[in-house]
Amino acid sequence: MKTDMTVDDLLKQQGAWLAPGEDSGIVVSSRARLARNLKESAFPGWAGEEECERILAEILPAVEACAALQPCFVLNMSALDPLDKQILFERHLVSREHAERGRGSALVARRDETIAIMVNEEDHLRLQAIRPGLGVREAWQVIDAVDSEIEKTIRYAFSPKLGYLTACPTNVGTGLRASVMVHVPGLVLMNEINPIIKGVSKIGLAVRGLWGEGTEAIGNMFQISNQISLGEKEERIVGSIEQIVLEIVEHEKNARERLMEKKGSVVRDHVGRAYGILSHAHILSSKEALDLLSGLRLGLDLGILKAKNRQAVDALLLTTQPGHLQKTQGRKLRTRDRDLARAQRVRQQLVRAGVGMVEEKKKE
């Protein structure tokens, strides 16, 4: 069942990756995506706009009919303005590359944003499921079911020797990229993140920033994902990510314990400054906001800060992003005006969410 949904409607809900989940203080969200292509059709990068439109027309009915996707909505990239596309990107529904596309490219997604399918990005189909917290196995199971359903009507480009064929050789095989976003301020504050990143890279996994490939790690958030999709079973890819993330969670918990034990003042200072600045600044860049929100979330996890509404705090990770800010203000803003609007939103939201220092409460 296809429903009408605009980008404006999306702003009224929280975004699938921000809901609270298991270990959600440390594991923010999990994602599994499959790259698929139609048999005997040129990859989107080679096909012209018309060919892409033909492919989209062929794919769309099969995707829209998919049971797991219901209720779903479809957005044609050609019908969206740059701000709408930015919103979709910030919500992790489309990639930066897909946001730049127009005619012949579309997004089909479940209304609750837990499943998002890009048609004619780098591949004809990029199927993605997202879960809050550590749910990479669940995410894979969900997207695997969607894939199987689509495969009933669509003939994929598949080689018995190599597996699924994709535009970029790194995706050939399973076409699977499983990734988990972790928030590890403890490891960063203890200066222990670099050995972990090195260790993760050594076993063939990648560590990236908040928005995946080529993005910087800000707000102490890192994305762990598989590098290789060829020659390994999906089960094993998902299993190794799961295992390494569980290990990172243990390391982070351990780092937080040691921080509180041995560097209590350093943590309280870090958290206090983050809260003090976020509550009173009038100019906040996107990067500074994310970095300080990391301190705030750490404070909430450790009980240094309290919040009546923790979700309203986490929502700031999304609503302080440039696209979301501008959409809510109803107009395009220059960088400086965004920094002002962002600071104002953060100040108001922290009051609304009832955030405060725990120790200060004790003294009253």
Q: Least Å distance between CB 213 and a second copy?
A: 34
Beta strands at 305-306 and 356-357: parallel, antiparallel or unpaired: antiparallel
In terms of CB distance, is 141 or 285 closer to a second copy? 285
Q: Least Å distance between CB 110 and a second copy?
A: 39
CA distance 263 to 257: 10
Q: Least Å distance between CB 52 and a second copy?
A: 45
Direct distance between the N- and C-terminal alpha carbons of the chain, in angstroms, rounded to an integer: 55
In terms of CB distance, is 69 or 343 closer to a second copy? 343
Token pair of 145, please?
């079911």
Beta strands at 221-226 and 356-357: parallel, antiparallel or unpaired: unpaired
Integer angstrom CA distances of residue 307 from 87, 89, 229, 296, 299? 27, 28, 41, 10, 10
Write phi, then psi, for 19 (nearest 5 degrees). -65, 155
Q: Least Å distance between CB 357 and a second copy?
A: 7
Q: Which amino acid is at 260?
A: M
From its phi and psi, is residue 244 left (phi > 0), alpha (psi between -120 and 50) or beta?
alpha
Integer angstrom CA distances of residue 356 from 25, 90, 188, 306, 313? 18, 28, 24, 6, 12
In terms of CB distance, is 109 or 346 closer to a second copy? 346
Of 242, 226, 202, 18, give the one whose Cα is nearest residue 112.
18
Q: Least Å distance between CB 284 and a second copy?
A: 8
In terms of CB distance, is 183 or 270 closer to a second copy? 270
> What number of CA atoms fall less than 13 Å from residue 241's CA on the CB side?
35
Residue partners of 20: CB distance under 8 A and separation at least 6: 132, 133, 310, 311, 314
In terms of CB distance, is 168 or 266 closer to a second copy? 266
DSSP 341: H
Q: Least Å distance between CB 362 and a second copy?
A: 13
In terms of CB distance, is 57 or 358 closer to a second copy? 358
Residue partners of 162: CB distance under 8 A and separation at least 6: 172, 173, 230
Q: Least Å distance between CB 345 and a second copy?
A: 14
CA distance 15 to 318: 8
In terms of CB distance, is 24 or 294 closer to a second copy? 294
Q: Least Å distance between CB 254 and a second copy?
A: 22
In terms of CB distance, is 133 or 186 closer to a second copy? 186
Residues that bind a second copy (CB under 8 A): 265-266, 268-269, 272-273, 275-283, 340, 343, 357
